[in-house]
Structure 1
Amino acid sequence: MLEINVIYLFLLLFQIPFTLVLLARLGTAPSRILPLQRLSSDEEDKAKQEPKVSVVIPTLNEVLRLPNCLEGMRDQAVAEIIVVDSRSQDGTGEYVQKLQPDYPAKLRLITDDPLPKGWVGRPWALHTGFLNANPDSEWILGIDADTVPQAGLVASLVQKAIAEGYDIVSLSPKFILKTAGEQWLQPALLVTLIFRFGATGDRNQFTQERVMANGQCFLSRKSTLTALSGYELAKSSFCDDVTLARMAAQKGAKVAFLDGAELIQVRMYTSMAETWREWGRSLDLKDAATRLQTWVDCLFLLAVQGLPLPLLMVLLIATFGMGATINASMLSWTLLGLNGFLVAIRWLLMFGIRSSYTEVGLWFWLSPLADPFAVLRIWISALTQPKQWRGRTYES
């Protein structure tokens, strides 16, 4: 019994401090910046006459994803749309060329140079687009090919940036999940970000070391990118969006990460396996943080997201199960209550993130059961360096 109580005490000493950190982060949600909304018709008309925006879309074998993105960008308030293709083999470049007559003087296709040593493909393509943008443009908007921009996205985003004086602002999207596996795993992975950085629009994310960003929709003043030498500072990062945003914040730029669920949607991956493999590979954010920050975050997630459900089940069985032989001590009751509290918070959070998804089913609501696996994925990612990414192979 003494040995069990020592284990209980160790777990409490491990979990309680991280639980207090979690409550402090989630407690700021009521004061977060409200989700971005589409402007009125008059405001949109005015926005079209405001600073010019160059949109850069990096592509590598995106012919199946790109149509929805380009259609969504067709009537946006932008000066140009630059598709930077990295020698796709699926006809992406030919598809863009075919569409160009429907986008007079607006849609451009650039094939980037072979990937230089030390660069990751995505920041290299974005850097190429930045270097080739219209000299008169005042803003650069990076958009991923798997996004579905909604009407008024660019006008609303630029208007918000100007009104608040942001140098860089990115948006969280509304996710499109179709398979049961995606609906079960993806929200659990998303929650790893919310637990570490708070809700989207949380003003605490504006501090240099906690800055968050999303490269799926990433707007920057061109002058800010110029001062940063484009994407040079994030050239080797597999989370170039967060890396660049944090570098910019360290140099004095005003950076924000806002809720854009009403203005942009995304179909990131098509299966649970792809979600595990591709998204989970960069969610540790180790390329944008110190080694200490990465491992503290891993321990934090283990304490508040990975352990609560398994511990709760074990403690319930040990205390109330048939044939239970352990006499519940004050420590066991405290540990039971703490982990029950954390599991309750996690399930209540499902109602908070519901608006971040287009459609949900039973598996979405059961996604807290995937939490131990989501935390395991973060640990695996933190312990390894990606060797393959979006069709490219990189040296270790």
Structure 2
Amino acid sequence: MGLIILLVQLPAVALLLARLLPGIQRPTPLAPAPEIPAYLGQVSVVIPTLNEVQRLSACLAAVQKQGYSVREVLVVDSQSQDGTRELVAAQQPRDPRLRLLSDPPLPSDWVGRPWALDWGWRQSSPRSVWILNLDADTRPQMGLVPALLQLAIQKNYDLITLSPQFILKYPGEWWLQPALLMTLIYRFGATGVSASSPERVMANGQCCLVRRSVLEKMQGYETAKNSFCDDVTLVRNVAKQGYKVGFLDGSRVLQVRMYEGLGETWREWGRSLDLKDATPIAQLWGDAWFLVSVQGAPLLLLVISFFLTPNLVNQGLFWLNLSLVLTRWGMLFAIRPVYSGWNRNSWTFWLSPLADIFAVIRIVLSSVTRPKQWRGRNY
């Protein structure tokens, strides 16, 4: 049995090393940049909302601090009932760039978020060269927009998404969230490292800058209309058309407060991390094998192998899984800068490898089910 486990694990370990080692030389995080006159009015910001009053206030305050490269800020609301619309309306007199829109009734073959984004860019000014999609839970930092524009223009990107700095509060989320995040890092490598193929491209739609001309040629968000991971689906389809896309470290220019506590993190983020809507079935289950081998099982296998009869195979099993466990704990130091809000509950962050088996189980469970409820809508 030990030999079989080794034969299953060893290819996954080789793949893990191939994905993690390039991260040693990954690009530095995107830094805030000053406004440049040439960027005047080049960006339309689109923020989709549905009952986001608790999170939208911080986002709007941050967006309104962005400079003159932002032509307009379009909040596309899907008939919120919690005061979201009133919040936006109250902010409009303070910033003439802010507009409140309502998207049409959701078609049966669309998911709500891509529908709202599609409506938003179609209502935006044709003089805006770029569309910047932001989620309501984001907190853009000063200098975000000119930094994105400068990078996109200098490096000839057609689309850029950013990984954020996460704001956590409660011990449960400090424990589980890093384990869930690690499933992405193990599968796709460090942020900023180029993907080997469009199918391995990673993205984060919480902050997505895209050329208007690309959206026009892609017919907007049509290719991601029925995807619950529409950001990854869209970006992979854009990459397949030969456009240059980038997924970069935005921890210095973008913060996000995604979910409240352990339960919401497990339920809401966990069910989308499998990326099944953007992933071929063989790749989906290949990733499940990979995550079980290098993240979910090593700690358990390490304990089991310690009590097995000493022989060459069992010793190999022990040392292999010890190396994986130590690598996983070492990764905590690598990802520590992407977290903000450190407090007296943050000590559970250092215990997050103990949540790995649950994170992997969550990914597998999500892979076999399609959401019936998402962001306040039933499907």
Q: TM-score, normalised by structure 1?
A: 0.93
Whole-angstrom CA distance in 1 between matches of 2:38 and 2:210 = 17
Which stretch shifts more, 358-367 or 172-181? 358-367
SS in structure 2 opposite 1:61? coil
Whole-angstrom CA distance in 1 between matches of 2:207 and 2:322 = 37
How far apart are 1:206 and its partner, in Å? 6.2
How far apart are 1:117 and its partner, in Å? 1.1
Partner of 2:151: 160
* 1:272-311 matches, cutoff 5 A: 272-311=262-301
2:84 maps to 1:92 = yes
2:331 maps to 1:349 = yes
2:245 maps to 1:255 = yes
SS in structure 1 opposite 2:178? helix
Residue type at the aligned position of 2:193: D
Partner of 1:102: 94
In our comparison, the structure showing a higher alpha carbon Rg is: 1
Whole-angstrom CA distance in 2 between matches of 1:328 and 1:120 = 55
How far apart are 1:327 and its partner, in Å? 2.6
CA root-mean-square deviation: 1.0
Partner of 2:314: 332
Residue type at the aligned position of 2:204: N
Q: Is the 1:47–1:159 Cα contact (8 Å) retained in structure 2?
A: no
How far apart are 1:315 and its partner, in Å? 2.0
SS in structure 1 opposite 2:213? helix
Partner of 1:78: 70
Whole-angstrom CA distance in 2 between matches of 1:47 and 1:68 = 28
How far apart are 1:95 and its partner, in Å? 1.2
Whole-angstrom CA distance in 1 between matches of 2:357 and 2:37 = 49
What is the CA deviation profile of residues 281-332 of structure 1, one whole-angstrom value per residue up to 9, with x for unaligned ones?
A: 110001011001100001100000000011112222x1xxxxxxx5311111
Residue type at the aligned position of 2:6: L
What is the CA deviation profile of residues 129-184 of structure 1, one whole-angstrom value per residue up to 9, with x for unaligned ones?
A: 01101011110110000011100011101110111000000000000000000000
Whole-angstrom CA distance in 1 between matches of 2:13 and 2:147 = 37
How far apart are 1:75 and its partner, in Å? 2.4
1:389 maps to which of 341, 359, 374: 374
Partner of 2:24: 30
* 1:152-231 matches, cutoff 5 A: 152-203=143-194, 205=195, 207-231=197-221
Whole-angstrom CA distance in 2 between matches of 1:119 and 1:47 = 37
Whole-angstrom CA distance in 2 between matches of 1:234 and 1:206 = 22
Residue type at the aligned position of 2:324: L
SS in structure 1 opposite 2:258? coil
Q: TM-score, normalised by structure 2?
A: 0.97
2:364 maps to 1:374 = no
Whole-angstrom CA distance in 1 between matches of 2:232 and 2:263 = 24
Structure 1: segments with no counterpart, 5+ residues: 1-6, 319-325
Q: How many pairs align?
A: 374
Residue type at the aligned position of 2:128: S
Whole-angstrom CA distance in 1 between matches of 2:32 and 2:87 = 30
SS in structure 2 opposite 1:366? helix
Q: Is the 1:206–1:256 Cα contact (8 Å) retained in structure 2?
A: no
Identity of aligned residues (%): 56
